[in-house]
Amino acid sequence: MNKLRLIMQFTYSAVAVVASAADFDITVTDRAIVQRCVTSNEARNIAVGMPGGFNFTFDPVRCRLDTVWFGEFLDYRGEATGRGGGKLQILGVKQLVGTEELPVRIGDAEREPKTIRFEGYRKEPATGIPTFLFRVDGVAIEQRVLSFGSDQVTIELHFPNDNHPHCYYRMDPVAVASVDVNENLRISDRGVMQIPPGENWAQIRLRLMPSQEKFVRQKPTTNGQLLYALHCMSCHTLDGKKKIGPSFADLWTKERIVMRDGQNETVVADEHYIRESILQPQAAIVQGYENANRMVDIRKTLNDEQIDALVKFLMQKKP
Ligand code: HEC
């Protein structure tokens, strides 16, 4: 009975919920799951289970990332049996990412915001990954949270309106071991990142204090589109718009000039070139992108099968 109810509640989002002998674990398959719930702290949070074993809760009152954990998603037992006061257990080691205060500041890095308004979230159709929409002191902000490995969290902030004032994002040195931001942003030694007016994109990579347990990737996904969304989309669009790297819309339609061993060379994309661009991104640098943020060594995160799936996904875009 309970199992049935559980399954019925979830089938609408086309997510496979595994309510097996392994009880009431909500298991993420190849789409993100978004679940309103009460986790161990008392707040009513939004829990997100990402494919690949990265999970987090977002606090819609303070509009901030609350907790992350690596492992499985949630144990639904409390809710399903009516015991446990509706609280859901997270299935992993909880890691905090910051203090109680809201990390975003508008106009003045030291002044707490007067108004915070949560406006919901939007799901990427292909992957189910949510983008949270909110306003801090009237400034519209869109936030995505991703992870590329254990103890790493990437927060992407998008400011859809160009005319915002100086905005700030404050790191908490207690939870965060180190921070990287994209090159157009500055960060002070106190961990305050500045987003100047007109800048509408901020990528903040937090390295958290390591947790005691090891990160276990449950079931690495081999869905090429999903891998693209998780690992490439922040720099490469599919619709022709330029982000940090060239759009994949141009991959098959344009020749490009690359710098290889100090020599310019004209290249037409083929499987070999795509594979090389992923595995040795520095081997041939596309003209015009010499100073762009570099691609990471994806072999540290993805296995061979996943890289094959990505290459296949890009090959399928060939007209
Ligand atoms: C941090 C940003 C960033 C991320 C993330 C990123 N790339 Fe790139 N990529 C670049 C930049 C910048 C270039 C152009 C410079 C160069 O050639 O290395 C590029 C170039 C490429 C090219 C050559 C494009 C062309 O038109 O010639 C391919 C193919 C590519 N990337 C694939 C990928 C794939 C697949 C992923 C995901 C696994 C990925 N990239 C993730 C920044 C990124």
Q: Within its chain, how far is the Cα of 278 from the centroid?
A: 19
**Mean per-residue pLDDT, 161-182:** 85
Cα distance between residue 46 and residue 146, in whole Å = 15
Token pair 């180190």 in the structure block, residue: 178
Q: What is the largest CA-CA distance in the chain?
A: 68
pLDDT category at 212 given cuts 50, 70, 90 is low
Which residues fall within 8 angstroms of residue 219, CB to CB, at 6 or more apart?
29
Bigger pLDDT: 275 vs 80: 275
Q: How buried is residue 261: exposed, middle or buried, by Cβ count under 10 Å (0-12/13-18/19+)? A: exposed
Give the Cα-Cα-Cα angle 298, 299, 302 (nearest 5 degrees): 80
Q: How many alpha carbons lie under 13 Å from residue 104 in its C-beta half-sphere?
A: 29
- Which segment, 23-32, 118-127, 204-213, is predicted with the most confidence on average? 118-127
Do 219 and 157 touch, CB atoms closer than 8 A?
Answer: no
Cα distance between residue 115 and residue 135, in whole Å = 8
Q: Which of 276, 295, 306, 310 to mutate to test the pocket of ligand 1 (most atoms within 8 A of CB)?
A: 295
Give the Cα-Cα-Cα angle 153, 158, 164 (nearest 5 degrees): 130
State residue 214's pLDDT score: 53
Tell me the pLDDT tens digit for each residue of 228-254.
988 899 899 999 998 899 999 989 988
Dihedral in degrees, nearest 10, Cα atoms 22, 26, 32, 38: -150
Residue nearest atom 7 of ligand 1, based on CA coordinates: 295
Tell me the pLDDT tens digit for each residue of 84-93.
445 666 667 6
Cα distance between residue 165 and residue 315, in whole Å = 42
From 16, 8, 56, 34, select the one nearest 120 (Cα to Cα): 34
Cα distance between residue 147 and residue 300, in whole Å = 13
Distance (Å) from CA 60 to ligand 1 centroid? 33
In this structure, the residues whose C-beta lies within 6 A of any atom of ligand 1 are 231-232, 234-236, 244-246, 250-251, 256, 274, 277-278, 281, 285-286, 289, 292-293, 295, 298, 310
